[in-house]
Amino acid sequence: MISESEIKELKAALSITAVAQRLGLSVANRRFRCFFPERHAHGDRTPSVSINEEKGYFRCFVCDNVKGDVISLVQIALGISFLEAVKWLKDDTPSIIRDSQKYSPSKNARSGQKKEEHPKFFREKMIFDFLSLLSPIPPNSAAGWWLAKRHIYKPTWDKVLLRLIDDYAHVSRELLAKHSLEDLQFAGLFNSQGNLRYGRHPLIIPYVDEMHRPFFFQARAIDKNIQPKELNFQGTIPFPYNKEALDGKFGTIYLCEGAIDTLTLLGNGFNAVGIPGVNSFKPEWVSLFSNKKVILCLDNDEAGRAGEERISALLKEAGLETHSFGLLPEGQDINSWLTSRS
Ligand SMILES: [Zn+2]
């Protein structure tokens, strides 16, 4: 169990701005866009959630229930429980603390300047260098079996460029040979202790654009005892998972929660894209869905149903047809449903 003093300590150690960034929220001028733009008269075009870094508090000017401390922020952003949010924060604490240095005025002026010149390019280069050190999934490996159990087979995992950290020490060494530890930590690949992250999350799921360029990734544990199951690369989530499917042509697309559900649907012959969490769909993504009929397949739980309502409202406002998948029994996700039927 987690004690109250531990929670206090955790909250004191973390910058709420850094946590918001880690969750993929774009914070500018101590503000970010609300999770529920449909409750806002103009879809929250001007960000209305403000952050009080000193007090570790956030609140939306419009929505009564969008406010709280750093733990509430994680709960709302990821649609998870209090305890899960505490676990998520504890696991990510070292790297979030390192991120926090970016928001304090005492940062190293030289290195800060260097990276602020081309922050986007720097981040993309780091992702590229990291992914190019990883191997494709070997069919007869624990990761291969883990995927097959979820109806995700070699043609699918080759197509979406899934990768495996099969030699953690080698990947770590190669990165350090190519980049300074400071840069690797700044990019979020290494933690504050100087180690490559993702040691317990070896399955790497890149978010690539239509030209197969990676802009983001998630790291997935394949051992079911590891919590959290997934770690996000730091910073903004640029677009939905499997963006390539959003090609502007007329057709149906299944929108699911998580990359693994997306891959299970792809493996079963459905055209699908994914969002990392129920609340991670961004209003600016709506235009990517043009000409698509969207079938929403978020988990059939309270958070998933609320998420579907929110996304559906955004898509409908843009004139798109949406339906709920509607076949999932209470408490199930696409994966548990499809794989339990065979
Ligand atoms: Zn709001």
Q: What are the pLDDT digits (tens) for 187-215?
A: 889 988 899 999 999 999 999 988 788 88
Look at residue 337 in the predicted model and tell me its pLDDT. Answer: 77
Last residue of a domain, one of 103, 120, 137: 103
Same domain for 215 and 294?
no
Same domain for 87 and 114?
no
β-pair partners for 292: 251
How far apart are the C-alpha atoms of 205 and 329, rounded to whole Å?
A: 27
Give 242 Cα–ligand 1 centroid separation in angstroms. Answer: 28
CATH number of residue 262's parent domain: 3.40.1360.10
Give 77 Cα–ligand 1 centroid separation in angstroms. Answer: 13
Give 25 Cα–ligand 1 centroid separation in angstroms. Answer: 14
In a domain, 134, yes or no: yes
CATH number of residue 137's parent domain: 3.90.980.10
Same domain for 278 and 171?
no
Q: How many distinct structural domains can be found in the chain?
A: 3
Give 334 Cα–ligand 1 centroid separation in angstroms. Answer: 29
pLDDT-above-70 percentage for the chain = 91
Give 24 Cα–ligand 1 centroid separation in angstroms. Answer: 17
Same domain for 140 and 210?
yes
Query: Which range is most confident: 26-40, 106-120, 157-171?
Result: 157-171
H helices, E strands: number in the chain: 13, 12
Same domain for 115 and 216?
yes
Give 86 Cα–ligand 1 centroid separation in angstroms. Answer: 23
Same domain for 220 and 274?
no
Report the pLDDT averaged over residues 291-314: 91
Give 34 Cα–ligand 1 centroid separation in angstroms. Answer: 5
Same domain for 248 and 316?
yes
Please indicate, yes or no, whether the overall pTM of this predicted structure exceeds 0.75.
no
Give 332 Cα–ligand 1 centroid separation in angstroms. Answer: 28
Look at residue 234 in the predicted model and tell me its pLDDT. Answer: 83
Tokens at residue 83, please? Answer: 């305890």
How far apart are the C-alpha atoms of 263 and 274, rounded to whole Å?
A: 9
In a domain, 237, yes or no: no
* Boundaries of domain holding 31: 4-103
CA distance to 69, 83, 250, per residue, from 86 (Å): 12, 5, 43
Last residue of a domain, one of 103, 123, 154: 103
Query: Are the C-beta atoms of residues 156 and 266 closer than 8 Å to each other?
Result: yes
Give 22 Cα–ligand 1 centroid separation in angstroms. Answer: 20
Same domain for 197 and 157?
yes
Same domain for 183 and 221?
yes
Give 16 Cα–ligand 1 centroid separation in angstroms. Answer: 18
Look at residue 341 in the predicted model and tell me its pLDDT. Answer: 63
Q: Which region among 142-156, 219-233, 242-256, 325-339 has the lowest average model confidence (pLDDT)?
A: 325-339
In a domain, 156, yes or no: yes
Q: Which region among 38-47, 92-101, 273-282 has the lowest average model confidence (pLDDT)?
A: 92-101
CATH number of residue 8's parent domain: 3.90.580.10
In a domain, 238, yes or no: no
In a domain, 297, yes or no: yes
Give 133 Cα–ligand 1 centroid separation in angstroms. Answer: 41
Residue 113 has pLDDT above 50, yes or no: no
In a domain, 267, yes or no: yes
Give 63 Cα–ligand 1 centroid separation in angstroms. Answer: 4
Q: Identity (one letter) of the amino acid at 51? A: I
How far apart are the C-alpha atoms of 253 and 322, rounded to whole Å?
A: 10
Last residue of a domain, one of 103, 121, 137: 103
Residue 130 has pLDDT above 60, yes or no: yes
> Which segments within 229-327 are labelled E, that is strand?
230-232, 251-257, 272-275, 292-297, 322-324
Same domain for 158 and 88?
no
- Helix intervals (H) in 51-180: 70-78, 82-100, 109-117, 119-132, 142-149, 154-159, 168-178
Give 335 Cα–ligand 1 centroid separation in angstroms. Answer: 31
Q: For residue 300, how many C-alpha atoms fall within 13 Å in the half-sphere facing its CB? A: 14
Same domain for 78 and 128?
no
Look at residue 112 in the predicted model and tell me its pLDDT. Answer: 43
Residue 272 has pLDDT above 90, yes or no: yes
Give 59 Cα–ligand 1 centroid separation in angstroms. Answer: 8
Same domain for 209 and 114?
yes
**For residue 196, what is the DSSP state?**
B
